[in-house]
């Protein structure tokens, strides 16, 4: 009986040893004692707290520089810190831009757990934009900061082309939300042009695209921020109605044009005398025409996207699998893909995947209709904005487009005069 217990103990000990070690340790006969190995696991919670504290601190510094000191100097150092920490050290994640998708998914899927960090990275820049303007874009966002740091020359883009390109971020935002709420893809993360640069590796096509954007940033201000960034589109909406507005100068504007020429994102409107004198009835008729055209564009966008929903639904894995299954059932002699091997290996039926396909196409039809209506609204408002001309006597900041970089402060002679008057006099 004792022998059986001894054998059982040995077998049990051997089993535990095999479970703990994939490979047996070498048998040293010198009495060598193995040290207790301890692995230091990084505390991710500490990094998350540091991320949030630094996010708020950097936005606070930008706000202080814009409203209290009226200078760009601190914003430049914020840009360097952001590129170094949020960009290369944290490798661009968590990203406020990509958090749009997490928020959208959490709103429609109760089973999805939204991390608090992602929620705060989404909300805090919006809160600051509503209070002070796009201070996050100034230098806290590593994508915008990287473009700002390489900028040397600002070649201007025509107003019509610029207005057309500025519709793209809104369309990108709508598609990102569409694919997120349908649980298909996170396209912002999938096609991030700078993540490969920050991580020093990845998809070569995206790295080249990011490099191209940086080259463009040398000659024109922030092309990604202005013409691609979906989060920037959201921030522009809140910045346009911000409680406190950035001012070009605390003194009266002398219309010297230096601020207009220095703005890298063309967010400063020049003086404009509206020479078109029209009667009140003419203006009312034009406004009524806008109200007629806008609903037509909304309805047209909704119908077009609804018709395109079957094709757009192929972004979801169930729809793609359904296509493969139907094709295989029609041509069973073809070689099975990995997806089909897994499908048939799990004993799933054609009826099951058909039901999933029909449910997903129905879901896409609903969300595509809403997305198309929003697209029609965005395009219609952009056309209306182009046709409206307002008189201006001085240079004014377009707060929706202003990224709060502070470049204009250093060029304004009124600011220079005020700063010199505040310097302590030498005895």
Closest CA to 180 of 371, 343, 321: 371
CA distances from 28 to 15, 16, 17, 343, 376 (A): 21, 20, 17, 50, 76
Measured CA to CA, the distance from residue 398 to residue 246 in angstroms comes to 10
pLDDT of 27 reads 47
Query: Taking the chain (427 residues) in consecutive chunks of 10 residues, what is each chunk's mean pLDDT?
Result: 46 45 46 50 77 96 94 94 95 90 94 93 97 96 95 87 93 97 94 92 91 94 95 96 90 82 89 64 73 90 96 95 92 86 90 95 97 95 78 87 90 72 53
CA distances from 283 to 42, 62, 379 (A): 65, 42, 21
3-state secondary structure of 18: helix
Measured CA to CA, the distance from residue 149 to residue 112 in angstroms comes to 38
Q: How many helices (H) and strands (E) does the chain have?
A: 20, 2
Q: Which stretches within 88-136 are classed as H helix? A: 99-108, 116-132, 135
Measured CA to CA, the distance from residue 336 to residue 408 in angstroms comes to 62
How many Cβ atoms from other residues are within 10 Å of residue 278's Cβ? 10
Q: How many CA atoms lie within 13 A of 134 on its CB side?
A: 30
pLDDT of 248 reads 86
Sign of torsion, CA 226 227 229 235?
Answer: positive
CA distances from 6 to 10, 15, 103, 205, 354 (A): 6, 14, 59, 63, 59
pLDDT of 419 reads 61
**Radius of gyration (C-alpha) of the chain in whole angstroms:** 29
């Amino acid at each position: 009986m004792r022998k059986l217990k001894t054998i059982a103990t040995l077998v049990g000990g051997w089993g535990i040893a095999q479970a703990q070690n994939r490979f047996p340790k070498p048998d040293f006969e010198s009495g060598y004692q193995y040290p207790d190995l301890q692995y230091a696991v990084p505390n991710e919670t500490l990094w998350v707290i540091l991320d949030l504290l630094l996010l708020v601190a950097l936005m606070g510094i930008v706000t202080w520089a814009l409203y209290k000191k009226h200078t760009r100097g601190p914003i430049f150092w914020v840009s360097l810190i952001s590129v170094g920490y949020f960009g290369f050290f944290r490798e661009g994640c968590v990203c406020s831009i990509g958090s749009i998708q997490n928020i959208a998914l959490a709103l429609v899927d109760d089973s999805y757990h939204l991390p608090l960090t992602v929620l705060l990275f989404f909300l805090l820049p919006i809160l600051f934009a509503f209070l002070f303007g796009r201070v996050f874009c100034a230098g806290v966002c590593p994508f915008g900061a990287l473009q700002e740091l390489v900028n040397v020359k600002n070649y201007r883009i025509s107003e019509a082309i610029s207005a057309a390109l500025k519709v793209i971020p809104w369309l990108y935002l709508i598609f990102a939300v569409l694919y997120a709420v349908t649980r298909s893809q996170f396209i912002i993360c999938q096609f991030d042009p700078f993540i490969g640069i920050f991580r020093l590796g990845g998809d070569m096509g995206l790295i080249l695209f990011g490099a191209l954007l940086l080259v463009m940033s040398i000659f024109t201000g922030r092309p990604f921020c202005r013409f691609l960034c979906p989060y920037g589109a959201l921030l522009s909406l809140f910045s346009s109605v911000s409680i406190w507005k950035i001012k070009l100068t605390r003194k009266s504007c002398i219309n010297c044009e230096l601020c207009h020429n220095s703005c890298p994102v063309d967010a400063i409107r020049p003086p404009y005398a509206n020479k078109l004198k029209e009667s009140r009835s003419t203006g009312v008729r034009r406004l009524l025409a806008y109200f007629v055209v806008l609903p037509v564009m909304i309805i047209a966008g909704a119908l077009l996207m609804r018709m395109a929903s079957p094709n757009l639904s192929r972004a979801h894995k169930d729809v793609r699998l359904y296509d493969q299954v139907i094709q295989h059932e029609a041509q069973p002699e073809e070689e099975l893909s990995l997806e089909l091997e897994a499908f048939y290996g799990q004993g799933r039926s054609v009826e099951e995947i058909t039901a999933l396909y029909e449910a997903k196409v129905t879901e896409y039809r609903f969300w595509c209709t809403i997305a198309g209506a929003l697209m029609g609204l965005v395009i219609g408002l952009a056309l209306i904005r182009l046709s409206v001309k307002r008189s201006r006597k001085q240079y004014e900041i377009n707060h929706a487009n202003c990224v709060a970089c502070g470049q204009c402060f250093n060029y304004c002679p009124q600011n220079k005069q005020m700063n010199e008057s505040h310097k302590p006099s030498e005895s």
